Chain A
Amino acid sequence: ETGVTQSPTHLIKTRGQQVTLRCSSQSGHNTVSWYQQALGQGPQFIFQYYREEENGRGNFPPRFSGLQFPNYSSELNVNALELDDSALYLCASSGTDRGSTEAFFGQGTRLTVV
């Protein structure tokens, strides 16, 4: 068991709506990364948060935004949803220092935009 939990597990939204996905990182981990995995594809890096600050961003538009809280849990917000945003969204947490090399993934949130 990885200890990374995501909610909700499944979600259906209408095009143009906004959505918030949540992630609780593994105990003691201070870094959270979000990935988008479209059907039949590998995960694509969205952004990463380290100690409540954005610490890197992939090639995603500004309508993808995030937060990290003092307890290191995190949210991914997507505004103005598009059909192509339908995907599995994965959260990964990483260790207590920058020397840690392993990322632990949650089960993901399956988002369907109709």
Chain B
Amino acid sequence: AQSVTQLDSQVPVFEEAPVELRCNYSSSVSVYLFWYVQYPNQGLQLLLKYLSGSTLVESINGFEAEFNKSQTSFHLRKPSVHISDTAEYFCAVRRMDSSYKLIFGSGTRLLVRP
């Protein structure tokens, strides 16, 4: 079975400051890794994903995440946040050898203050 742990339920940060949202996972098989973002009263949007290759993956809006196999982590970072980044962020995994079932963490609310 797979599980995902997001260590922080809420992360407050000032605008233009750096931020890291932590994600650790557990799995006995190889998995794909994802970060999704959810704005208030909306569905989930894919932010970035790790499938294979380079362990550092980037999104178009300045977020990046690094896959660390030895620490089973996939932390999300941004060097300078904006007010508009305020949202709920979910880390998720999916087995490589299976269908599309995603296992989500409990989420981290990023609150960017002016």
Contact = CB atoms under 8 A, between A and B. Distances in A.
B101 A33 contact: yes
A106 B102 CA distance: 15
Contacts of A104: 46
A41 B106 contact: yes
B90 A42 contact: yes
Interface residues of A, number: 30
B44 A94 contact: no
The number of chain B residues touching the other chain, given as a range, is 20 to 34
Contacts of B106: 40-42
Contacts of A40: 106-107
B48 to A, nearest CB: 11
B34 to A, nearest CB: 8
B94 A101 contact: yes
Interface of A: 2, 4, 6, 31, 33, 35, 40-45, 48, 50, 55-56, 58, 90, 92, 94, 98, 100-108
Interface of B: 4, 6, 32, 36, 42-46, 49, 51, 90, 92, 94, 98-107
The 6 closest A-B pairs by CB, nearest first: A42-B104, A105-B43, A105-B44, A107-B43, A94-B100, A42-B106
